[in-house]
Structure 1
Amino acid sequence: MVTRHYLNKIDIMTLMSFYLTCVPDCTLIESKLPIFPEKNDIKSSNIFSQAEEGKIISNDDKSFKLNFPFLHDHATVKYLKDSKVMFIMRGLPGSGKSTIVRSIQSTYPISAVCSADDYFLKDGVYNFDPNKLGPAHETCRLRTEQHCQSGCPVVVIDNTNVKRWEMKEYLDLALRTNYVVVLVEPQTPWKFDARELARRNKHGLSEEILQYKVRLFQDFMPSYYGWFFNEADSRYFLRMGRKLVEECVDKIPELKQSLLAQFRRRQVYIPAHTDAKAIVNYFRRQNGNTLIHCTSKFLAHGRVPCAVDYHLRADVQGNCGKASCLTVTSIIITERTVGARVRLSKQQLQLFDKPEERERDELMAKAEESPSQEFASRGGASENMEGKPLRKQFAALELSSDDKSTMKINPFKLKNGKISKNGSADAKSINESESNMYKIVRSKPFNNHASLKPLCKRKEVKAQPNLHMMSASRFGRSAHITLATAEGIESRQTTFDILDICEVEAECPFEGRDSVPVLGGRAVYLGEGMCCIYLYKPLVFGSLFSGHY
C-alpha cells in the first residue's frame, strides 16, 4: 500500500461562496487489533523521535503540541497499526492540519491520505480549477472507497469539513466498511483567528474570506461516545455470544420456555420443539452494524441534558482516538436482549456517565425508606407494589439516569455444580482489569472450539478458579456491550436488563442455585426470563474511544 502525501488544500465552502477556494477532505483512520505490549516493554511514550520514526520536524511543527493519543501513546499506535480507523480532519486553512497529517503519515507508514486537492495536481504542479470541484470530490470519494474496501489500516480524509454534510459520505462509508471514525481538529490557539489564519495559510486566502469561514464552522456532537471494538474482535465476539445463547437455550429448559412465551406475546409463533438455532435467530443486530461498542455517554447529538457539558470536557476530547482494554466478565440473556457485562478500569469510569444507574439508585433509596409514599406520588398502586422486588416496582415508572453508588463486593465460588457464597472479597480479582491492561486474554475453552477460533493472535493468562461476577451495587455496573436485541427492542434496553439482574444478584445469595456448565463458564437461570453466564476468567479486548456520528 503506497502512502499518499499531504498536498495543499483549499476550502469548498469558500469556493462555492467566493469562487476562490476548494474544501480539503477530512481524515479517516482505521487499523486492526494488535497485541498490547507488556508494561515493561513500553520504554517511552514519545514516538516522534526523529531517529525512530523519521518524522520531519518543521518550524510550524514546533509552534504547537501534537497532543493526540494516536500519535504519542505507544499502545494506541500499536493497536491502530493492526486495526481499521478513519481519521477525518476538520479545520480551516492555516490552522495546522498539514502538520497533523504529516505526523500521521510518519507514524503509520501503511496509510492512505485522500484529498480533493489531489485532482488538481499534475506533474507536481497544483493548478486549481473551480469548475472541476465536483469531479475532484467524486474522485476523492472513490479513492477513499477503494482504500476502505482493500482494508487499509489507516485512511485519512484531508478536507476542511466545516459542516457535517461535507463528511456524511465518508461517515457512511466507514460504517459500511467497519471503520472506526476519529474526528481530528488542530489544537492551535489561532485556529479561529482569521488574521493569523490569513498570515499562515498557503492558499492566499484573505482575512475577510477566512472570517466568513470561521462563522460557518460548525461544532457537532456525536450520537454517543464509547469504546469501539475493531472488526476482527467484533466478529469473534458476536460469534461467541451466539454460540453461548444456543448452548443456554439447549441446556436450560426454563429459559427456552420463557423465550417461546415471549415470542407468542409478540405474536411470533415458534413451535415448542424448535431447535436453539431458530430461537437465537430471533435476536438480531440493529441496522446490521458489525462493530460492537460499550457506550460511555449517550448524547443524541446534543438533545439530552448535560450533553454539551460532557462533549466539551477536556478528558473526553483528550481520550478520543486512544486505545484501552475492555474487560468482559459475563454474558446476559433476557427475553429482550443479549449483552456482555463490562468491568471498567478507574480511568474508564471517569468517562462513564449513565443516568439510568443514578436514577435506579435514587429510586431504590427512596423506595426502601418509604415505598408506599414514593410510588403513590408517581401514580402507582402502592398496595399492589408492596412486597414485590424493586425491579417489579420500577417497571411502572419511566427511568432515565446516571450513578455513583459505593462499590460493594459480592464474590461467589463454584461448588459441586452449584453457586455458593464465598465469605471474603478478592481485591486482586476486582482490579484485574487494570493489572492486565496490556494483555489480550482468551479463555482456553473458547479456543478449543473450531467454530470460534480467534481472529487475531491473543495472549493468555492462567485460568482463575473463581467465577467473575459483577458487584451488585457499584458505579459502572451497567457498562455493557449490546450483542443483539429482539425485534422492536432498542439497544438501550440492555442497560435496564443488566440493572434488573444486578438487583436479583443483590436479593439472592445464589446458595443452592443450580448452574449449568457452558463454553468458558457457568450459566445460571435467574428466573423471569433472565439468564447470566459467569465466565471462569474475564475476557480482555482492545478498544478505541471515539464518537459515533
Structure 2
Amino acid sequence: MGIDWVSLFFCYFSGILLSRDFIVMPGRKKKAHEARLRRKGFIPVRLKVKKKIAVPKATRMASISQLESLEEAQPGSLDEFPFLSDPKTMEYIEGSRTMFIMRGLPGSGKSSLAKQIADAYGNTVVCSADDFRYVDGVYVFDRNKLQESHEKCRELARLSADSSINVLIVDNTNIRVWEFKYYLEIARRKQYTVVLVEPRTPWKWDVHELAKKNGHDVPGRKIREMAGRFEIAVPLYFGWFLNGDDSARVLTVGEQVLKQLSEVREFAEEFKCYSESGTGSLDLTKYFTREAFTGNKNSIHCTAMFTKYGKVPGSEAYTTSEMVVNSCGQVFRIEIVGFLITPRTFGARVRLTAYQKKLWGQDDYETVNHGTPVRGVRSRNISGDSESWDGGLPSSPSLSNRFATLGIEEEIFDEGSADNLANTATEHESEDTERDYKFCPTWGFGRRAHITLGCAAGIPPVQTGLDLIEVISTEAMTSDLSGVESTHESAASDLESVTSELSLISDPGSFSIKKGEARCYGDGRWVVYLDKSIHVDAMFSGFY
C-alpha cells in the first residue's frame, strides 16, 4: 500500500503549528483535507494565526470515537453567547484583544465550545495542557508530567500574547481560580479583556453523563471530586472595558480637555497650586496619574458593580445572575457626556442606556469620603461667600437625602420592572427625559457611572465616583427642576420646599471651551459638558 505523503506532511506541519481543530484554509480545500484525515482515523489540531509565532512542537490526534464523543457535547444554542452570535460583538473582538478562559468539568462541552470560538475568529490561538500529553499521536495522562504540560501551555499563551494574537483561548478545566491566575497576569500586562466561559449543556453537572461523554476516559469518581472543588469566580469588579485603541482615544480627549481648561483664567487660578514646582506652568496631565489603577495603566473601564472578590454583600448573587452571565463577553456602546475635574480626581461621565442600567449595581448615594487627604485649593464659593481655603469637599447630606426620598429619579426616568425593560429596552435606547437637563445629564438611576482617567498621588480611583455623587447633588441645586412632575402626592410639598431652597443657590458661572461648556461648582469641582457626546464600544466582563 502506497504512502499518503500529503497526509504525512500535513500531520508533521500541524505538529509544529499547535492548535485545537482543523488548519485554516479555503473552504473547499479544508473540507477535502478533513475528509482525508477522517478516513485515516485521526484529526490534527489547528492554530488559526495570521502572524507567525514560535510554539512548542507537538501533535494532537484523536480517534473517530473520541471525536464523535466530543461532537455530542454541544454547548447549547450559540445565541446564548454574544461572542458567537452578536455581529457587533464579533466585529469588535476581531479588532481587539480578548482572552477566553474556559471552565468546566471533563465532558461538559468545554472543548467543543472552545473550538466554536476559535472557528469564529481569524487571529486565534487555543492553549490547552492536553495538547502536550500526546505520545506518538496517543493521549497519555502521566501525573508525573502534569506540571510540565501546564508549563508548556502557559508558555504558549505568553508567546502568543507577546506576538499580538487577538484572541487567546485557554482550554483547561480551571476548577479553582488560582489555576488560571497566570493567564490573568498575561491579560493584564498585554491589555486583554478576560471573559470566563462555561458550557451550558444540560449535563454539565451530571457526573454519570460527564463520565460517558468526556474524551479522555476520566472516571466518574474523579469528576465528582473535581465538581466538589469547583469555585465560583467573583471578580474585583464588573464593568465595561475599553480596548487599547479606544482607551488611548478617550485619554487623549481627556488631556485635550485639561489643556483647554488650563486656558480658562478662573480654572488656572484655582489649580495653580498644582503646577510643577519652579516652572509655574499648569500641566494637570502630569498631576493626574494612573499609578493606583489595579489593571494595565493604559486600559480604562466603567465599573458596573464592585464585588471585591465576593466580600461585598450580594456580590455572588450578582455574579451568578442570569442578566450578568448572559451579558459577559457582550459589547455595548458607551456614551461619554462630559468630564469631572477635582483636586483629587479626573474622570469621564457616562450616561447609561436603559439596557445597561439593568447591569448597574453601584450605590448612587454612597457617602463621600472626606478623610482622603488632598492639598488645599483656593476656590470660588458658589453661595457667593468670600474665597476659602479648604482641603476637602463640602457635603450637603440633608439635600442629598431629601432628593433620595422624593422619588425624583423615578419621575425623570421611570425604569419600571426588569421584566418590562427586558421586553422594551434595546441596547441603544436613551432617556429623552434625562437629555432635557443640559447641566444635569446623568440625574437618575445610574447617575454615578464614570470612567476614571487619573487621580492625584495617593488617591484611589474609587474617589472619582464619590466626587461625582457630590457634584451631581450640586448640579441639582443649580439646575431648573421646574419641569419635574411628582406622581407621589405625599412628595409634592417636599419637592416645592427643595425647589425653594435651590433658588437660593447662585449661578456657578459657565465658561466656553472648544469641546463644550465648563462650570465650577466650588472647592475645585469643575465639570465639562460636551457639545457632542463621545461614543465608544466596550465589552462587559469582570476584572479578576
What's the TM-score once normalised by structure 2's chain length?
Answer: 0.69
* 1:224–1:547 contact (8 Å) kept in structure 2: yes
Q: Which runs of 5+ in 1 are unaligned?
A: 8-28, 30-55, 264-268, 362-389, 411-430, 438-464
1:434 aligned onto 2:442: no
Matches for 1:391-540 after TM superposition, within 5 Å = 392-394=395-397, 406=409, 434=428, 469-471=439-441, 473-509=443-479, 514-540=509-535
Per-residue deviation, residues 385-419 of structure 1 (Å, max 9, x unmatched) = xxxxx952449x99xx9998526769xxxxxxxxx
Aligned residue number for residue 451 of structure 1? none
Partner SS, residue 538 of structure 1 = strand
Compared CA separation, residues 2 and 404, structure 1 to 2 (3 A): farther
* Partner residue, 2:331: 323
Give the aligned partner of residue 341 of structure 2. Answer: 333
Deviations 1:111-161 (A, max 9, x none): 110111222235644334332222222221111111112221110011111
Partner residue of 2:170 out of 157, 162, 168: 157
**1:493–1:403 CA distance, 2 compared to 1 (3 A):** farther
| Gap change, CA 1:477 and 1:121, over 3 Å in 2 | same
Query: Paired residue for 1:282?
Result: 287
Match of 1:190 in 2: 203
Residue type matched to 2:297 in 1? N
Alpha-carbon distance in 2 for matches of 1:500, 1:123 = 66
SS of the residue aligned with 2:231?
Answer: coil
Aligned pairs (5 A) from 1:65-84? 65-66=77-78, 67-84=80-97
8 Å Cα contact 1:358-1:404 kept in structure 2: no
Letter aligned with residue 282 of structure 1: Y
Partner of 1:86: 99
**Structure 2: unaligned runs, 5 residues or longer:** 1-15, 23-47, 49-67, 369-392, 414-424, 481-505
| Counterpart pick for 2:300 among 292, 300, 304 | 292
**Cα 1:404–1:201 shift into 2, 3 Å:** farther
Q: Percent identity?
A: 34
Summarize the alignment of residues 253-402 of structure 1 with structure 2, pairs less than 5 Å apart. 253-261=265-273, 270-271=276-277, 274-277=280-283, 279-285=284-290, 286-287=292-293, 289-355=297-363, 357-359=364-366, 392-394=395-397
Residue 178 in 1 paired to residue 191 in 2? yes
Which amino acid in 1 is paired with 2:287? Y
Cα RMSD of the aligned pairs, angstroms, is 3.7
Q: Which has the higher relative contact order, 1 or 2, with Cα contacts under 8 A spaced 6 or more apart? A: 1
Name the CA distance, whole Å, in 2 between partners of 1:481 and 1:403.
Answer: 28
TM-superposed CA distance for 1:58, in Å, is 7.8
- Inter-CA distance 291–403: structure 2 relative to 1 (3 Å threshold): farther
After superposing the two structures, state which structure 1 stretch, 122-131 or 155-164, moved more: 122-131
Describe the shift of the 1:186–1:110 C-alpha distance in structure 2 as closer, same or farther (beyond 3 A): same
Over 3 Å counting, the alpha-carbon distance change for 1:517 and 1:118 in structure 2 is same
Q: Which structure is larger by alpha-carbon Rg, 1 or 2?
A: 2
CA contact (8 A) 1:6 1:98 kept: no
Structure 1 residue 323: deviation in Å? 0.6
Deviation at 1:540, TM superposition (A): 0.6
Decide whether aligned partners of structure 1 residues 114 and 469 sit closer, same or farther in structure 2, where only a CA change above 3 A counts.
farther
On the 8 A contact 2:257/2:515 being kept in 1, the answer is no
Amino acid at match of 1:534: Y
Q: Which residues in structure 2 correspond to 1:23-38 (within 5 Å)?
A: none
Conservation of the 8 A alpha-carbon contact between 2:439 and 2:479? no
Structure 1 residues 479, 63: closer, same or farther in 2, change over 3 A?
closer
Determine the C-alpha separation between the residues in 2 that align with 1:342 and 1:124.
53
Aligned length: 417
2:170 counterpart letter in structure 1:
I
The one-letter code of the counterpart of 2:428 is E
Match of 2:536 among 537, 541, 544: 541
- Give 1:518 shift: 2.9
- Preserved contact between residue 466 and residue 536 of structure 1 (Cα < 8 Å): no
Distance 1:63 1:233, change over 3 A: closer
